[in-house]
Structure 1
Amino acid sequence: MRFNLLGPLEVIRDDARVPLGGVNRRATLGFLLLHANAVVPTADLVRALWGDSPPLTARKMVQNAIAALRDVLAVEGGVSLQTVPPGYMLRLDPSQIDLADFRDLVVSGRTAFRAEAWETAARHLRDALGLWRGPALADITEARAAWPELAALQEERLTALEDCAEAELALGLHRELVGELGAVAEAEPARERLCGLMMLALYRCGQQAEALSAFHRTRTVLVEEFGLDPAPELHRLQRVILTQDPALLVPPPRTRPGTAQPAAAPAPARQRPKRPMAERRQASVVLVEARMDAGTDDPERVDEALAEVAQVIDAEAAHYGGLVRGPLGPYRLVALGVPRTHGDDAARAVGAALAIRRRLGAARPATVRLAVATGEVLAVYRDEHDPEPAELTGAVLETCRRMLAHARPDGVHVCDRTRLAAGPRFGWRTGDAASGWHVTDDRPVPVVPPPTPAFVGRKQERERLWELLNETLRERRPHLVTVVGEPGIGKSRLVGEFGREVREHAGAVRVIFGNVSSLGIARPEPWWPGCPADRPVTEAGPDTASGLWPYRLGTLAEHTPLVAVVEDLHHTPGAFLDLLTCLHAQPPRAPLLVIATTRPEWPVDVPPDASTIVLPPLADAEITEVAGPLPPDLLPLIGGNPLFAQEYARHPAPRPTDPPPIPPQIRGLLTVRLDALPVEEKVVLRGAAIFERAASAEGVAAVTERPVAEVAELLGNLEHKGILHRGPGGHVFGQALLREVAYAQLPRKHRIAMHRRAAAWISRLPADQGDLLVHHHRQMIALTASGDRSVAALAEQANRTLTDAGHRAGMVGAHQIAARCFRGALELSMSSPVPVRQRLRLLYRQSLRRVGHQTPVR
């Protein structure tokens, strides 16, 4: 016996149709087939047959229909219609239903689609679409209220059609597709992907005007009916059609197996497509105003004075790592933290402003005022590989302008946020809210250092360092060990404590400390309070800040066994190469142990004869010992990082009910880590941050609009660098706070667009993954301003999509997933009519009952 749902309901036995009787019987069987092998409550059948106004004898009529259907199905051994409280279950082999065949073919087609096997994908998807003989259960729904299950089936059909059309467009079949896509687009004018495929097919047929008209029709429907603008990708397609981009042309046909491929002229090198990018960043900006004094009317003198001001600004900005913008009339802007964060951008900005003031002085024909402010900016790039943004916007620029209006000539005024971020290394004199704080001195202000926290854990790592030191002393040969860990994990504290232990217990061994700053300069310095450097690297001579300093280590080690600690080699790869070269050039009998600290994303590999110590996170009990008692919900965010724990202890949430904000120092450290990544990896990492749980290569490719193979390779790179870890279902962030920082760098409208793409991609996944939609619809609504008229449309769309996903999950027996979908729809439908919410509550209760829960729903 064969059951066909994709069109008018048919029951086929021995190639002949089986008569079913009246419409009630047909509707009952159709509804049971949609929920085959699952219990269907009698109340659901009553509602499916008569809606919200059933007759008084509805239950008796359902019983009569069930009895008649049992007589029809009794002759088929593999099919049974059973009474199972609180309703009925139709048991049969799913392969007897054409809907199961359709879904199997779609899965095969999409597997080939992801592998870009276009011919195979198109064949399977066409076969799947060929099973449809019209709207699902068309002879039943004409006289009945619309069933959500049928709306979900129609969505499956349209999505399969879109996949098939995309595969056939890749094969150059645009002329064959135009008519079919036009008819479907006429019936479904709000489907953006369908519109894009239609536009591409029309353009390739030489109908550019019709392609643009299709865009405008869809845009009109979206704006007038839903208050939404088309997605950025549809706008992008409109632009490239207007510019007649060659990338829209038909791809070259593939050679079929067994045929000879004609010789062709070598193809020109394919240019990488431009990918505009925008990002939110924390930045400190210096606004410099240079105005000519009254009475200076010699144009040549004016030009010379302004040229000198510009030269000084450019030089100091370059020294402090700032980006110069302007001139904008009498103003020049220096931005610190764009396009890369240094971790101390506020202090750099104040230092740059003071340096500019000193160099220009007061005896100039131009009067200079300076203001420094810190805050968020939006950096917009024409292409993600551009070295600097084309535009910078943000309220921080207006803050600077207001302070300049009150600034004293040749003074430096800063906002309160800059003062707090720059710390106690400058002198400050308070002003009012408009003028900000005045910098009075650039000499460090003595401060009492915070108490050193207890050193806990790291027993195995300390023992390993002692083993390496003893081996170096015994064999009297140089050895390199790298200590690898994420920012704040305790690399510096470990090597500092080890140095202290060596001085206390191995007095014959000299310990020196050095550091490679973020400016790429090697400098010696005491590294841990109470652990001063013993005759630091400056003994090697004046070449400390050059590439010659590593070669002096062997000279010291020839006379006295030496432990040389070099911090932060990730800032300057050249310093690491110098270390490797010098170790091979050292005297063979020099007892020299070099300990270098670095971060896991550093791309340089250590040599085989070197040692590596990777610092794991501390246990929760150890974190509590370092920072004191912390709220339990903070521990997963801290992730075993002692510095993060100390910062959260210093910056508690304003109220116990508020989510804890990321402390500024932690945000700065994580932003520095992100900025060290190549731009492609950073873009893919932000795409992974869109997903609440694991992020697969296919999902990230969908939200970033990049090829799956490219995304998979970049995710692998991030996994190799320790930023992502492979888990069930894809990649997850090793540090939860890093995901938050990466997500926060995305502009709000980009987040909404990426969540929309993620939801569209998830809707094509198997039904048992439908609950993944909840997060993305929740975020789209949360990111939309409360007064925006599109919020209601988004909530309605979320309600419809999640309800359909819940029904799909229930149809395959994934009732836990269905419950999550219905609950998400209920949470996002606060402003929906009461009947809608009551319906969702009922669906949620039914799903819970099917998995054995009795949780009340209010």
Structure 2
Amino acid sequence: MARLVCAQGHVVSTDRFIDDLWNGQPPPRALAALQVYVSNLRRVLEPGRAPRTPARVLVSVPPGYRLALDADEVDAWRFPRLVDAAAALLVQGRPAEALDAVDEALSLWTGRPYAEFADEEWAVPEVVHLEELRTVAVEHRAEAGLALGRHAEVIPELERHVTAHPLRENAVRLLALSYYRAGRQGDALAALRRTRALLADQLGVDPGPALRGLEADILAQAPSLDPAPVVRPPSLGLTPAAPVAPPPAVAPPVRARPPAPSRMVGRTGELGRLVAAAAQAGDGFRIAWLGGDAGAGKSTLADALVRHLTEQGWRAVVGRCPETTGGVPPAWAWSEVLRDLAATTPPPPETAARLAPLLTDDAVPVGQFWLARAVGDYLEGVSAPLLIVLEDVHRADEETLQLLRHLAVRLAGTPVLVLLTHRPAEAGADLVTTRAALAVQAAEDVTLGGLAEDEVARLLVERSGVEVGPATARTITERTGGNPLFVSETARLLAVDGPSAAHALPPGVRDLIRRRVARLPGTAQTTLRTAAVLGREADTDVLVAMPGADEETVLDGLEAGVLSGLLEEPRPGRVRFAHVLVRETLYEDIPRLRRTRMHGKVLAALEAVRPGDVGALGHHALASATAATALSAAAHATRAAAQASALYAHRE
């Protein structure tokens, strides 16, 4: 539970869970054990949930699990929102409301966050983040108190705060200012001088401009230090004072215009969202995530964004994470980005020397920290705004992700948008951790689904040059799920074979599906093949009732299929293949003899739990018929035919 809360509502992949729970040394059946833990936790969280109904709190989302809760339902999520709200209210000149918000935030603090897990590697970043936010909250409360004229009241808490955090210059500034306004000028100067000595002794630096300016103002008794008049709430019958207007927003250096129409089929809404993310990047470094299954059109959409932004004066560069890491230098995607940039904007000689491991193939490696600093220095000097596209980051090595995390901090004030394309079902532990660490910088998160039927029709015409009727477009949309790659492969067959190709299984699509299935545990692959024998949609009760089936193994296999994106859960007790082509690939890969036996097992399960499903019984009886079962199969088929005839379904 703590691991899920720590993810702040984001998905924690099964790989990440297994690595964290067993500290990198998982047992042989780790996935099965994890699914047991999840099942037990779901019973605790939703004790009244009926068996086999979808969970509403701890939900399965490819490639793992997440807590589907509102931010106000979890203290660890609510606390940062309240602190941020207090900061915004202070900026808007509303200290009384800011004080209420920060008091509510601090009332949630009952001890160290994630206390019993605080030293776990996965918890440390979040614990540090929340503890830092608490120090900020204390300072926000003091600032609100000062704005309300409560100078003496804030001093005791600030004294304790500065004692605990003597190097926090903002805390010292607030304490000195509260001393001064309370008539204790000597204490104010003494606090500033103690901090000056401490910074020199421990860090070898002088105080920052804020403390130096405050000390000069105190010595000069500058009028600017006097408290501003406090606006009291209006009493009944009096005209309220005009609200304090928020300070005008500073316009970013670049604002992206709405995207112009392009030849890309569909995805106009998604492109608009990415352009809006680019507009946010005008204020400083932002990240946009672009997810989807293989063939969903991520690269096509990324290319459209590159074209659109370059037309507006942006620089755009692309780096790709290689499919195999054998013999590939670390952080190769960043090498591609920097080499592309350096071709037109050479770095200064000193920076080029430090960037050599990424710019040349035979350079001597340097430390990761110094290399990251060099990349940050260089990108900061490149003419802005800048779009960086990193493709397939689900394959990214640790060096690539480390550099991304470093740049998110280093380039906080630089107009840079990093677009990260990925396959959610293949996200590894490192990517999930990076995603959580960069939540603050994320401006947009787009996940591509299938194209609509009219978009599929347009794509078919564009790729095949053949006009297609509504029925053909509908059939191909249903079979492919609107996946642009699957549609394009079908269009190639359509150009050669005509409308009959609408029901074909393109070879390239078959190979892609096989690769996705091969990533699943062996028991999950077996469960999916069994489900394929039942059809596009399968009844979980039938799967569990099959001879020799183990309920937990079946349910675990189905859940693995859902998490991988190969299966969907259209309603309780049912699973459905995401595309007809997935089901057909699995079914056709089963050897004919085994397929016949599996139909026989399905027939036995149907007779036990769905004896009234005459049509399904007839279908599986015929598919499993042998010389020994021919009479029984004929009887089932006859009953199915009679039922179909009664329903005027003569073709059935």
Is the TM-score greater than 0.5?
A: no
Higher alpha-carbon Rg: 1
**TM-score, structure 2 as length reference:** 0.36
Work out which structure has the larger RCO, using CA pairs closer than 8 Å and 6 or more positions apart in sequence: 2
